[in-house]
């Protein structure tokens, strides 16, 4: 009888320990989880995007196209891999930044978007749409505490570069 009680106690203790360790590990993973790794893009409103793109091309040497330009660089975690940041002026009337009323929107590159979105939801962050998957990565939009809309992007840089080349677009570097 005593043996059984001891066994039960041992089981209960190890269960509690296990649970405790499990939650410590989980917290640890979340804390260590890579969130934003870089700037994926900067978008801003203007009166005349075409004219402004031309201005940046003429005076600052940006290789602009109908979308703006793409800045090309190499990743900090692995310099053999390229990274890209999109730069685009938008029309003042664009709905793309809504519900934000700001004049700009930033796109951040993230390591694991699905995992991050789950975390953000648990943390009470406003996620304003469902995760979209396209050839060149995964996207979702969230809101910060001052009403700035944020675009989160888990890029597929290889496909992204290929698409640009196929379209005959030159990057800025």
Non-local (6+) Cβ contacts of 45 within 8 A are 89, 90, 91, 92, 94, 97, 103, 104
Please give the residues from 63 up to 102 whose contact with another protein meets the rule CB under 8 A: 71, 73-76, 79-80, 82-83, 85, 87, 102
Which of 61, 99 has the CB closer to another protein? 61
Identify the DSSP state of 148. Answer: -
Candidate ranges 5-13, 18-26, 140-148, 158-166; the one touching another protein (CB under 8 A):
140-148
Tell which residue, 163, 165, 160, has the closest CA to residue 85: 160
- How far apart CA 72 and CA 161 sit, in angstroms, is 9
Rg (CA), the chain: 23
- How far apart CA 122 and CA 79 sit, in angstroms, is 34
> Taking the complex as a whole, how short is the minimal distance between the CB of residue 75 and another protein, in angstroms?
6
> Taking the complex as a whole, how short is the minimal distance between the CB of residue 78 and another protein, in angstroms?
8
Residue 21 near another protein by CB under 8 A? no
- How far apart CA 109 and CA 84 sit, in angstroms, is 9
Binds another protein (CB under 8 A): choice among 48, 98, 114, 118: 48
Where on the chain is the footprint of another protein (CB under 8 A)?
Answer: 33-39, 42, 44, 46-48, 51-52, 55-56, 58-62, 71, 73-76, 79-80, 82-83, 85, 87, 102-104, 106, 108, 120, 123, 125, 144-146, 148, 150, 172-173
């Amino acid at each position: 009888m005593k043996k059984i009680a001891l066994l039960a106690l041992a089981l209960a203790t190890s269960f509690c320990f296990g649970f405790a360790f499990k939650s410590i590990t989980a917290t640890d993973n979340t804390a260590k989880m890579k969130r934003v790794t870089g700037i994926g893009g900067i978008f801003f409103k203007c009166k005349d995007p075409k004219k402004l793109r031309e201005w940046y091309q003429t005076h600052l040497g940006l290789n602009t196209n109908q979308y703006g330009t793409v800045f090309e660089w190499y990743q900090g975690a692995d310099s053999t891999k390229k990274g890209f940041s999109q730069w685009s002026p938008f029309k003042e009337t664009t709905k793309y930044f809504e519900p934000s009323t700001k004049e700009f929107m930033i796109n951040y590159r993230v390591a694991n978007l699905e995992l991050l979105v789950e975390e953000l939801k648990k943390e009470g962050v406003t996620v304003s749409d469902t995760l979209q998957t396209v050839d060149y990565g995964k996207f979702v939009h969230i809101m910060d505490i001052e009403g700035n809309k944020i675009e989160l992007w888990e890029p597929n840089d290889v496909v992204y570069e290929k698409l640009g080349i196929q379209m005959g677009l030159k990057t800025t570097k």
